[in-house]
Amino acid sequence: MAEGAVAELAVIGAGVGGCALAAQLRRLGWSGSVHLLEAGRGPGGRAATRRSRRDAGLHINHGAPLFNCTGSTPPALLQPLREGGWLEPWSGTICCLDGEGRIGSAIGDGFSDGSLYRGHGGMEQLCCGLLQIATEATLHSGALVRQLQPLPGGGWRLLGNNDELLLECHWLVLSGTLLAHPRGPALFGWPEVPLQAAAAQASDPQLQRACAALAAIDSQASSNLLLTLPAESAGPWRAQPFQLLQCNPAAQARWGLRRVSIQPLEDGRCAVVAESSTSFAAEAQGIYGSRSSAAQLLGAHANPQAEDAAMDTLEQALQAALGLPTAGADRQLMRWGAAFPQPPGLPPELSLCAASQIGFCGDAIAGPGFGRVEGALRSAEALAGQLLLHLGSELS
């Protein structure tokens, strides 16, 4: 930004919720300045696609291989995303593994029922499409917001990890819970929860209630093993009768796996993503992949020995459960610290604190689709409608 400039709206997090908010504001006709600050390498969050600068053919949907919508009326943003070619229906086969190693029909797990979609060419295309709809929204990748400071007279100052000024804005939206939850200080050694410290200065009772509700949200983690199998050992994986394998509770207890996604690559290789069970992720707390954003950008401690041990355990579980080869596979470990927020979530009536000029969206907002991509879309659409009443008269 130009020195001294102040954004009308800053959004922390360029996952589905943050990108959807910017897109819906544009669809509603608002043309003010929108800046998205994302700690990761690019947009997407858990709906991102892992790519490699050294390997153009590699792309792995490492957080979510697809997403579902279960409401009778789809989110409003689905239509423009599909019309723009950013989304397509997911038409793969889903099966379920039981505790005896038998593969059967899919079960209702909350993430695989209803209408299924994926990004065209990779899940990252979901957020890329949203940013295209959000014309002239500015994305700042690798921007870790560490402190939130309310400004006298309204607005916010956003500071980085070294107290450097990142941005000033009139309105602020948090599209995730990291800055509002005690796990941030626990993970990164921060002395306080950033939003709670800011709320103490703002003296806004509604914001205080929102802080308490966000801090109380429990969530389940997931430690995901990413395998890239060479063409010579990918055949058995590519020949499986499913592209997504659920694990029922007995299978999760036996092998420590929650879901397995098979993603064939165009050059004959195959990517496999093994999502851990909640209990495995709890045991592996604090183990972050050395190539993850948490380790490289957020400063989480990387432990190569523990990382290798976690990958060994998940790889051996895959081999034991499915009897398929993994020889020669390149592997990575990704950990999502709050992959699955648990109810009740943030009440929608606390998603906009007008007196403090701050709002909240994402899958942790209570309502239809809670804990899923659908909830992130719906909460962003609802917040955009509320914000439009406060953002001023800059309508296109």
> pLDDT tens, 328-365?
999 999 998 889 999 999 999 999 999 999 999 999 99
Task: Tell me the backbone φ, ψ of residue 56, rounded to 5 degrees.
Answer: -65, -25
**Cα four-point dihedral sign 75, 79, 84, 88:** positive
Percent of the chain surpassing pLDDT 90: 87
**Cα four-point dihedral sign 193, 62, 141, 116:** negative
Band the pLDDT of 392: cuts 50, 70, 90. confident
CA 25 – CA 30 distance, rounded (Å) = 6
**334 - beta bridge partners?**
224
Verify cis geometry, omega within 30 degrees of 0, for the bond prior to 368.
Answer: no
Q: What is the CATH number of domain 88-118+219-341?
A: 3.90.660.10
The per-residue pLDDT for 300 is 59
Band the pLDDT of 299: cuts 50, 70, 90. low
The per-residue pLDDT for 186 is 85
Q: Hey, where are the domains in the chain?
A: 7-48+127-217+342-387, 88-118+219-341
Q: How far is CA 59 from CA 66, 178, 259, in A?
A: 14, 26, 19
| Mean pLDDT along residues 2-17 | 86
CA 326 – CA 77 distance, rounded (Å) = 39
Q: Is 192:379 a contact under the CB 8 Å cutoff? A: no
CA 318 – CA 272 distance, rounded (Å) = 10
Band the pLDDT of 394: cuts 50, 70, 90. low
| Half-sphere exposure of residue 250: CA atoms within 13 angstroms, side-chain side | 8
What angle do helix axes 16-27 and 373-387 make, rounded to 10 degrees?
40
Q: What is the CATH number of domain 7-48+127-217+342-387?
A: 3.50.50.60
**Cα four-point dihedral sign 131, 219, 286, 197:** positive
| Half-sphere exposure of residue 185: CA atoms within 13 angstroms, side-chain side | 13
Band the pLDDT of 294: cuts 50, 70, 90. low
pLDDT of residue 164 exceeding 60: yes
In which region does residue 295 sit, left (phi positive, over 0), alpha (psi from -120 to 50) or beta (all else)?
A: alpha
